[in-house]
């Protein structure tokens, strides 16, 4: 009989425990469902902070990805008209043997014309190749390095088979400078906004706890356990942050769609290579759980502090 009573008591405790969890969970949706405008007003600073963090993260990712393809120096060599195939092969071997060279491609006069006509978006190519204005060309891709670059320029200047060569070195220097500036600014804004986000969350938790201080005092007087009192506020913080995170993510995807479509039209006109990267599912999930874990810790701390102050 005693064991049966113990089992019934344990069952009752478990039932009450899960029932209270469910009540706390459902009550957390009361403001978002019944007063969505009030919820948006309360959560707007959090939504904007998360949105701005994701925006700067996207800028950081896309600049890293798209500018990486422009960190390889391209040298276009125009060979003299009477350059023999033997001289061309010899020149290719000498250039390819260097450690900083990625690739060396050779184009005949006809291939150069076809490449120019195709790359410039033209459908018609000059049929009479006797009027071809382009010489034999070589396109070199090399690792961007100022020290090793001077050596290959000296070699190209002295080679008798080369009429002229062009390099995108100046452009790469500008790209590198721009990339460093943007990275520094993005990093600064990301960490500043993360700090601001947690300050906003902390302020939100404090204000919510302050509103319920009389309720916490009554629970204390009735002898309720601290875990019982904390439960509701933890659920409220988690639900509010979850909905705010979801809204900011939806707005981000909408803005990403609009901006990438507009930018694609411009970039396609200039035949610029580009790949736009979005926030991945893993990154979004990691960000969400990081925010929720820190929010729960902050809520736990603030409510505990309020409970202890009321007890004393």
Taking only the tens place, the pLDDT of each residue in 169-189 is: 777 777 777 778 877 887 888
Is residue 245 assigned to a domain?
Answer: yes
Last residue of a domain, one of 102, 123, 143: 143
CA–CA distance, 228 with 139 (Å, rounded to integer): 72
Reported confidence tier of residue 122, pLDDT bands at 50, 70, 90: very low
Domain shared by 213 and 259, yes or no? yes
71-80, 83-92, 104-113, 158-167: which range is least confident on average?
104-113
Task: Evaluate whether 79 touches 140 at the Cβ level (below 8 Å).
Answer: no
Residue 97 shares a structural domain with residue 123: yes
| Same domain, yes or no: 181 and 55 | yes
Per-residue pLDDT reduced to its tens digit, 29-56: 887 888 888 788 878 888 888 888 888 8
Residues 229 and 127 in one domain: no
Domain stop point among 120, 143, 166: 143
CA quadruple 301, 303, 309, 312: dihedral sign: negative
Are residues 281 and 205 part of one domain?
A: yes
Q: 55: buried, middle or exposed (CB in 10 Å: 19+, 13-18, 0-12)?
A: buried
What is residue 131's predicted lDDT score, i.e. its pLDDT?
A: 47
What percent of the chain is modeled with pLDDT above 90? 4
143/104 Cα distance (integer angstroms): 12
Question: Quick check: is 10 in a domain?
Answer: no
Q: Are residues 82 and 139 in the same domain?
A: yes
Q: What pLDDT is attached to residue 279?
A: 86
What is the model's pTM? Answer: 0.63
Strand order in the sheet with 137-143: 101-107, 137-143, 72-79, 162-167
Residues 111 and 242 in one domain: no
Q: Quote the domain boundaries for residue 193.
A: 16-68+175-311
Q: What is the pLDDT of residue 125?
A: 45
Whether 243 is in a domain gets the answer yes
- Please report whether residue 302 resides in a domain: yes
Residues 109 and 180 in one domain: no
φ and ψ at 161, to 5 degrees? Answer: -90, -5
284 within domain boundaries = yes
Asked, for residue 148, whether it belongs to a domain, the answer is no
Residues 51 and 182 in one domain: yes
pLDDT single digits (tens) 128-147: 445 445 678 888 888 776 55
Confidence of residue 246 (pLDDT cuts 50, 70, 90): very high
Counting the structural domains of the chain, the total is 2
Q: Are 85 and 63 contained in the same domain?
A: no
| Mean pLDDT over each residue of the chain, to the nearest integer | 77
Residue 151 lies in a domain: no
Average pLDDT, integer, range 150-156: 80
pLDDT band at 289 (very low <50, low <70, confident <90, very high): very high
Is 167 among the domain residues?
A: no
Residues 78 and 56 in one domain: no
Residues 263 and 293 in one domain: yes
Whether the per-residue pLDDT at 295 is higher than 70: the answer is yes
- Concatenated DSSP letters of the chain: -HHHHHHHHHHHHHHHHHHHHHHHHHHTTHHHHH-HHHHHHHHHHHHHHHHHHHHHHHHHHHHHHHHHTT-EEEEEEEE-TT--HHHHHHHHHHHHTSTTEEEEEEE-HHHHHHHHHHHTT-S---S-GGG-----EEEEEEE--HHHHHHHHHHHHH-TTEEEEEE-HHHHHHHHHHHHHHHHHHHHHHHHHHHHHHHHHHHHHHHHHHHTHHHHHHHHHTT--HHHHHHHHHHHHHHHHHHHHHHHHHHHHHHHHHHHHHHHHHHHHTT------PPPHHHHHHHHHHHHHHHHHHHHHHHHHHHHHHH-
Q: What is the pLDDT of residue 300?
A: 84
Residues constituting the chain: 312
Q: What is the mean pLDDT of the segment spanning 151-179?
A: 80
């Amino acid at each position: 009989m005693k064991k049966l009573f113990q089992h019934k008591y344990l069952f009752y405790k478990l039932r009450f425990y899960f029932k209270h969890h469910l009540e706390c969970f459902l009550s957390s949706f009361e403001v978002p469902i019944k007063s969505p405008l009030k919820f948006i007003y309360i959560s707007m600073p959090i939504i904007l902070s998360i949105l701005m963090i994701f925006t700067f993260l996207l800028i950081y990712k896309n600049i890293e990805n798209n500018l990486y393809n422009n960190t390889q120096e391209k040298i276009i060599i125009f060979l003299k008209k009477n350059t023999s195939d033997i001289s061309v092969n010899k020149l290719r071997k000498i250039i390819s043997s260097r450690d900083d060279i990625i690739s060396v491609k050779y184009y005949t006069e006809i291939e150069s014309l076809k490449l120019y006509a195709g790359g410039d978006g033209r459908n018609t190519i000059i049929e009479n190749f006797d009027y071809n204005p382009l010489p034999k060309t070589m396109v070199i891709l090399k690792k961007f390095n100022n020290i090793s670059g001077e050596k290959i320029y000296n070699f190209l200047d002295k080679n008798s088979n080369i009429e002229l060569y062009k390099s995108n070195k100046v452009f790469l220097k500008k790209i590198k400078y721009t990339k460093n500036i943007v990275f520094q600014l993005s990093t600064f804004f990301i960490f500043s906004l993360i700090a601001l986000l947690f300050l906003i969350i902390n302020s939100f938790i404090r204000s919510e706890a302050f509103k319920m201080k009389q309720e916490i005092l009554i629970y204390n007087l009735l002898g309720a356990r601290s875990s019982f009192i904390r439960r509701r506020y933890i659920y409220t913080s988690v639900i509010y942050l979850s909905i705010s995170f979801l809204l900011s993510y939806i707005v981000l995807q909408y803005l990403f769609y609009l901006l990438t479509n507009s930018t694609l039209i411009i970039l396609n006109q200039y035949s610029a290579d580009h790949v736009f990267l979005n926030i991945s599912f893993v990154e979004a999930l990691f960000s969400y759980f990081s925010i929720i874990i820190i929010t729960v810790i902050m809520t736990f701390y603030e409510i505990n502090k309020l409970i202890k102050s009321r007890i004393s």
